[in-house]
Structure formats: structure tokens, C-alpha cells
Chain A
Amino acid sequence: MSGSVKQQLFAPIVEIDRFADGLYRFALNAPFVAQHCAPGQFVNVKVAHENYPLLRRPLSIHDSDGIRRIDLVFRVVGEGTAILAERRVGDELDLIGPLGSPFRIIKDKRALLAGGGVGIPPIHFLFREIQRRELPHFVICGMRNKDEAALAGAIPYETEHYELCTDDGSLGRKGLAIDPLIEQLNAVDPASVAVYCCGPEPMLRAVIRLCNERGVECQVSFEQQMACGFGACIGCSIETKKGYQRVCTEGPVFSASDFE
């Protein structure tokens, strides 16, 4: 499914859903990406036609039908994402993908998935894959409030294998996604589960510490400013125990054991 294949291509937008203030889901017709991507990978999108903003913006793949369609979900945080949000159905997005190293699904361990905010997209795609393979799992999503529920996409968060947390308690449980994760880990043998996480950096750091302390196998997806997204500029490096590693190539998914 995954590999190092990538292309630069123009993908028409087939559907746009503005589901909360500043949150968008774009469905794209991008067969090459849909057929070659795996959960945890991203596409690098040219948002402006001109030179400003100059660099592409990386966005995780939220979903793929494996044939032609991919979904992206993003939050407007600055100029680049604001320009992207002005696109209409039928417009073509200039993108490069699929990029990055995906999550490695550990088949013989129960999967504990945790996503926070716009870190949910890669977790959503991973959930779809794990569900398709009928592997045991538990999914936790954390977000600001009930308006953002669509971040969870197809995750049936009202059922027993799922937990949704909001900062204000307007939907699901009030509080951070890390709390139900700790409860899950408390209830099981650490060797029997694998944690997969993407979210804001403080969440990643907390999950890394938690899993490393307990000896739980864990993969985390990081973000960093990047120029190319395909390994040429060496600009998106982060510090790991193995030295500097590129988020775009060795990552975005890293093993928690690579960090203190």
C-alpha cells in the first residue's frame, strides 16, 4: 500500500464542508494519492498561485477510498490556510504526495489511537484501516467543543470503543484526551497494546513520556515547518535520540522510544 512513490499533481476539489469556525474538510479527486497512500502520510499543498505564501502547506490525509478520493481536514491558523479556505468545488489543488513514513500497524497488539485537534486526521485514516482489517482497537479524540465533532469523521464516537473529549465539556467527556488514554493503559498489560498518537506538541510529549515510562510500544506523528516535504532541504529536522531526523522523510511518524 505505502511506498516511496510520489507525484506532483492537480487534484480537483469535489466536495467542501465547512463544519465549524475555521475548520474545513476538502474531498479531492486524486487517484494516484488515494491508491498509494497509507495512514500517517501527508500531501504538500500549494495554496497560492503567486509567490506569497511561497512554500507549500503540509496536510495529513484524513481518509482515502483507495481508488480515487482523498479527504483533507484543516484548521485556518494563518495566511496559507486562510487562502486555502477560499477555494471552491471544482478548483484544482496543486499538491505533492503521498509523502512521509506512515504508521506501522502492529497486528498482534490492541491499537490505542489518540488524536487531538487537527492531529485527528491521520488518526482517523489509521482508524479506517484498522477497522477494515478488523483489528481490536480503542480510539480517543480530543477537540475544543461540540462544533468540531466532524473532526472525528467516521469514528463512531458514541459507541463503546471510542471516547471523545472536549475542552469545554460540550460533547463527550470534559478534559484532555490523555486522561482516557491513561485509564486504558491502567486496565491492560502494557505489552498487549500499541499506542498511535497525533496532536499538539504538548500532547505528543505527554504521551511519549507516559508510554516510555510504562514500556508501551508507541508511535507519534510530529509537525515541523518544512520547505520541500520530500527530503531535499533538510529543514524540518527535529531532535531525536538518533540525532536530527527529518519530519518529512524519517517522519512524520516516529517511535516514542526515539525521544526522552
Chain B
Amino acid sequence: MEMQAKIDLSVNIGGCTLKNPVITASGTFGYGREFVDFMDIERLGAIAVKGLTMQPRPGNKPPRLVETPSGLINAIGLENVGIKKFIEVKAPYLKQLDTKIIANISGFSPEEYAGMTELLCEAEAADLIEANLSCPNIKHGGIAFGSDPKMMADITAELKRRSAVPVIVKLSPNVTDIAMMARVAEENGADAVSLVNTFLALAIDVEQRRPVLGNVTGGLSGPAIRPIAVRMTWQVAQAVSIPVMGMGGIATARDALEFLIAGACCVAPGTACFVNPAAPVEVLEGIEDYMRRHNMTRLDELIGSLSVESD
């Protein structure tokens, strides 16, 4: 029998090595522990935890969820325990896991992003920091940080100054030119970009002529957004040379392969984890299987291998 060549699945993000490219999407994997009955979470390359804010947040008025064709609109409102309690109560468990921890942070001012980064680094509570820039800047008319190039530049540069660990900038798809936004993040020192966050959406109860969600609008995720997320990942991967972490509707290895082939070096099943909580491990096994079938031994052979030339 032929010897199987060992497959190297490791990925380097700004000096931090993930053992494989399968991670989780923030807000869809709780604080990790919720999933231990369904899979061995230490098999994952990294776990991105639920979005954190400086102060604890109660979250939005219900209803917070509505299902749409092959999608989910959520307006959770960043309900979380706050950064201090995260460091005290949740981080010790996460720290002892044999996987990397991505702390996902959301701020309502540049100072909050900076403050949270310092607290996380002091406590050594995360291996990577992911800045969710889809939050409104309260001081500047509530425009999302991630939809304004100047604000994105400032926050990215500030985070890089404060952070002792690699910084990932999470891109909002609710912009005209996502590749341009990715370049802004790169120019200001981001170690990686992740995309996509959810698409701003609205569902209407036609009988009542009222919004279904308590928050009126929400973010659309799930299989419905996947082709758009793949296109955006492809555009961003061509525009920057830092690692691109892909997400948006990934439920199976086949879905994840689209993102890898488009140029992502990591893939994160998100909403899929609600339906099939073992999805991340199934995605990992499927990627390995694919590489074996295609005689690939390194992830590089797969990443960005999309050929658009006509034969």
C-alpha cells in the first residue's frame, strides 16, 4: 500500500500558528463550552468567542431572530458579560484548551477598542484579537467604524499600537468597495482581515405591517449569503497580501473549499453551528479528505488556487 503523505494544515496569522484553517465565527460559537457535547473543540484551529464590549450589555429587545429563505436575520445586540467578566470567568477555561483563542471586540468609541485590547493583552486572555468594526461610532453620528475608511484606518493603527498579539480586522460587507476597505486595514498594520460580517437586512410582518425584529433591522447570515461572501473573499484576497479569513454561509467542507480556493487561508462555519453543532469538525475532515484526493500536502496548494483563465 502506498504511504499517505502527511498533510500540513497549519496556518500562520501574524506570527500565531493555527494547527488548521478551521475556526469558528464570533457570536455563533458562544464561549466554546456550549459545544463540548457535540465535538472535540480542541480539534479546531481557533475559536472566536462571542463579541465582547467594554461594559456588559443586556442585548436587544426580543424578538431577536427571524428565519428567511436559507438565512437567518439576527439582532442580538451584542449581549455579553463585558470584557472584565470575560477575562475573570470565561478566559481561564478557554486558555487551557489546546487551540487558539480569538477575542472578538466591539467598541462604541476608538478608546473602547484600545482599552479592551490592553485589558486582554495584560491578562494574556487571547492569542489573537479580532476587531468587529460593524458597530456604530456613537461620537460620530453612529456611522459604523467599518464603513468609513478614515475611522477604520485610525482604529486599526491604534489597535496595532496597543496589542501584543496579532490583530484581525473584521470587514463589514455593507460597503461599496470591500477590497478598498481591506487595503486600508492592511496599510494600517492589520495582521489579517476576516470577512464577511452579516448583511444589514429587514424582515416585515405583512399582516401587522411591522418589522419582525424588536430592533427593526438585523444582520443576515447563513447559506443565503455564501455566494456573495465568496465573491468578496476573492476580491479581497487579490487586493491584499495579509491573510484573509473567510466566512459567510459555510456549512460543509465543500462550502469551505470555495473560500479557500478563492483565497482565504482560514474558514469559519457560523450560523451552520446552530443547526449542526459538529459542523466545524466535519468541515475539517472534509478538507483533509479533499486534499488527500487531490494529492495535496500543504494548504498553500489550495489557497487562492482559483483559475479564471479560459483554457
Contact = CB atoms under 8 A, between A and B. Distances in A.
Interface string B240-274: 00000000000100000000000000000001011
Contact of A235 (B37, B38, B65, B222): B65
A230 B277 contact: yes
Given A6-B37, A54-B70, A55-B67, A233 B274 contact: yes
Contacts of A52: 69-70
B35 interface: yes
Nearest to A80: B67
A51 B225 CA distance: 12
A93 to B, nearest CB: 14
A52 B71 CA distance: 8
A227 B65 contact: yes
Interface in A6-30: 6-8
Contacts of A8: 38, 276-278
Interface stretch (A119-127, A188-196, A238-246): A238-246
B149 interface: no
Interface in B21-73: 27-30, 34-35, 37-38, 50, 58-59, 61-67, 69-72
Contact of A53 (B61, B63, B67, B79): B67
Interface in A34-72: 46, 51-56
Contacts of B76: 233-235
A126 B222 CA distance: 37
A46 B222 CA distance: 16
A235 B64 contact: yes
A210 B74 CA distance: 34
A244 B65 contact: no
Contact of B275 (A46, A224, A225, A239): A46
A79 B38 CA distance: 27
B74 A56 contact: no
Contacts of A230: 34, 37, 277
Given A233-B65, A233-B274, A235-B74, A54 B222 contact: yes
Interface residues of A, number: 29
B223 interface: yes
Mostly, the A contact residues are loop
Nearest to B277: A8
Given A54-B67, A55-B275, A227-B274, A234 B37 contact: no
A7 B29 CA distance: 17
Nearest to B34: A232
Q: Which of B35, B72, B222, B275 has the most CB of A within 10 A?
A: B275
A228 B274 contact: yes
Contacts of B34: 228, 230-232
A237 interface: yes
A96 interface: yes
A37 to B, nearest CB: 15
Contacts of A236: 62, 64-65
B275 A54 contact: yes
B37 A55 contact: no
B26 to A, nearest CB: 12
Contact of B74 (A46, A224, A227): A227
Given A8-B38, A227-B271, A235-B76, A54 B223 contact: yes
Contacts of B58: 243-244
A8 B37 CA distance: 9
A76 interface: no
Contacts of A56: 274-275
A237 B275 contact: no
Nearest to A53: B67
A239 B62 CA distance: 8
A54 B225 CA distance: 13
Contacts of A53: 67
Residue in A54, A231, A237 with the greatest tally of chain B CB atoms within 10 Å: A54
Nearest to A231: B34
Contacts of B29: 232
A238 B275 contact: no
Contacts of A243: 58
Contacts of B38: 7-8
A112 B72 CA distance: 39
Contacts of A228: 34, 273-275, 277
Contact of B59 (A55, A225, A232, A244): A244
Nearest to A96: B277
A140 interface: no
Given A5-B37, A224-B62, A237 B277 contact: no
B116 to A, nearest CB: 19
A247 B37 CA distance: 20
Nearest 9 CB-CB pairs, A to B? A232-B30, A228-B274, A235-B65, A227-B274, A51-B70, A232-B34, A51-B223, A235-B64, A234-B79
Given A232-B29, A232-B273, 8 more contacts: A46-B275, A54-B70, A54-B72, A227-B74, A227-B271, A230-B277, A232-B34, A237-B59
16 contacts: A8-B276, A46-B276, A52-B70, A54-B223, A55-B274, A55-B275, A227-B74, A227-B271, A232-B28, A232-B277, A233-B74, A234-B59, A235-B74, A238-B62, A239-B62, A244-B62
Interface of A: 5-8, 46, 51-56, 96, 224-228, 230-239, 243-244
